[in-house]
Amino acid sequence: MRTLGEGLFALPLYLLFTLSGGPAWQATLPFALQRIASLLALPLGVLADRIPRRELLAATLTLQALIAPGLLLKTPILLTLCGALFFTLSTLTGVTASAYLADLAGREDLERVRGRVGAVHIAVDTLKDPFAGLLVTRTTYLPSLLSFAAFLGAAFLYRSLPSEKAPTPKKRFRLTEVWEGVRFLWQAPNLRPIVVAEATYTFVFALGVSLLPFLLLRVLEESPLVYGIVSSLLGMGSFLGSLLGGELSKRVGRGKILVLALLLGCGAFLSIGGATHWIWVGLGAFLLGLGSLAFFVVAGAIRLGEAPPELRGRVAGGFLFLSGALAPLGPLLGGALAGVALPFPFLLAGGLLLGLALLWRRGRAA
């Protein structure tokens, strides 16, 4: 319900700015606000560790419900303020929900639970934009009202869940708390390789997805329908990757799942980079979704499972900050390399994942 509520708010907001008749920078302003909000994950992670998480989630979603009717405002300044606050609260919700899920699931069962929850989110995320777009074409009031109802329903459901057992520190706030999650990730010898690999996968995933429209519509000269099919294949792969990554990690082993996910990503980029027909691009997109989400589910479970309960909010926020800072570099580098020769960015991305897989296997063997 939270994912649905976000889609019912975000897509109409994008359309309002795009169709406002303002300059081009104004049309892209909501996207910029969303990216800036993800960089606030560091200080927001502190809140997730200092306030009981169930209550924080319920309060944050209630605030988002109250912001949802702001879509009915027509003034760009007021819409900008609503969007900035909304995306900031979304970042806080994401960080807190990750830590809260780890509290409830426990370390041993975290991959399976993360995989199932992630699959549900991906399914809703795939359907929410077409649904929101259909509503916008019918009425300007219904998206905001349904978003309001979805957030209130999500807040009620969070309130019905048990309270987490994570201790809430009562000590005075120190500025250094903001960086404790990043420090923990970097100083833990067993987590450092996983964090580097996870950040790299996030980087190359953004690179590959950003180049799909250019490759399909400009290079292969396919129709927008084909691009929609390929996007659906990416979503299907992501759904299966999230589900299977969590379900198979205990049977196969975490290390084997991570290596297999890296190799699937490598194969995806090689398929896309050498594609002469959209079918190969679609296959690559499916493998990219499958491999990346399987990797993220298992790696994220290891990262949050190793973190002490009182630090999970800052660990989740610290990684979101790092990945959010790196992700925009992927499309920029991919676009620059594609201007030289189209296979270059895909070969680079595949080579990085292959190198990580080989290093991971060598480290395990040692």
Condensed to tens digits (0 to 9), the pLDDT of residues 54-89 reads 999 999 999 999 999 988 887 888 988 999 999 999
Reply yes or no on whether the pLDDT at 24 is more than 70. Answer: no
Average pLDDT across the chain, whole number? 86
Tell me, what amino acid is at 200?
Answer: T
Give the C-alpha distances (Å, rounded to integers) separating 209 from 9, 53, 57, 122. Answer: 23, 33, 31, 16
pLDDT digits (tens, 9 = 90+) for 238-249: 999 999 988 888
- Does the pLDDT of residue 111 top 90, yes or no? no
Residue-range domain boundaries for the chain: 1-169, 174-365
Please state the rounded mean pLDDT for residues 308-321. 86
What percentage of the chain carries pLDDT values higher than 90? 33
Residue (of 365, 316, 362, 334) closest to 38 by Cα position = 316
Q: Are 309 and 260 in contact (CB under 8 A)?
A: no
Least confident residue range of 15-19, 164-168, 185-189, 238-242: 164-168
Highest-pLDDT range among 120-124, 179-183, 187-191, 330-334: 120-124
Residue with tokens 């909000």: 37
- The one-letter code for the residue type at 358 is L
Q: Which residues of 140-158 are buried (b: 16+ CB within 10 A; e: fewer)?
A: eeebbbbbbbbbbbbbeeb
Range from 160-164, 273-277, 343-347 carrying the lowest mean pLDDT: 160-164
Domain 1-169 and domain 174-365 have a common topology: yes
Query: Stretch 301-329: mean pLDDT, rounded?
Result: 83
The answer, yes or no, to whether residue 147 has pLDDT greater than 80, is yes
CA–CA–CA angle 226, 211, 343 (5° rounding) = 105
Q: Regarding the domain with residue range 1-169, which homologous superfamily does it belong to in the CATH classification? A: MFS general substrate transporter like domains (1.20.1250.20)
Q: Give the pLDDT band (50/70/90) at residue 366.
A: very low
Rank 2-11, 160-169, 326-335 by mean pLDDT and report only the highest. 2-11
The confidence score (pLDDT) of residue 138 equals 78
pLDDT class for 186, splitting at 50, 70, 90?
A: confident
Q: Which long-range contacts (CB under 8 A, 24 or more apart) does 14-17 make?
A: 15/136, 16/71, 16/79, 17/76, 17/79
C-alpha distance across the termini of the chain, in Å: 46
Residue 304, pLDDT > 50, answer yes
* Alpha carbons 191 and 168: distance in angstroms, whole number: 24
Cα 87 off chain centre by = 13
Express each pLDDT in 256-290 by its tens digit: 999 999 999 999 999 998 888 999 999 999 999 99
What pLDDT does residue 168 have? Answer: 57
Question: Domain 174-365 carries which CATH code?
Answer: 1.20.1250.20
Whole-number pLDDT of residue 191 = 82
Give mean pLDDT, residues 23-27. 68
Q: Show the tokens assigned to 82.
A: 């609503």
Across the range 324-350, mean pLDDT stands at: 84
Highest mean pLDDT: which range of 147-151, 170-174, 213-217, 310-314: 147-151
How far is it, in rounded angstroms, from Cα 102 to Cα 312?
Answer: 8
pLDDT band at 170 (very low <50, low <70, confident <90, very high): low
Phi-psi region of 106 (alpha: psi -120 to 50; beta: other; left: phi over 0): left
- Is the pLDDT at 1 greater than 60, yes or no? yes
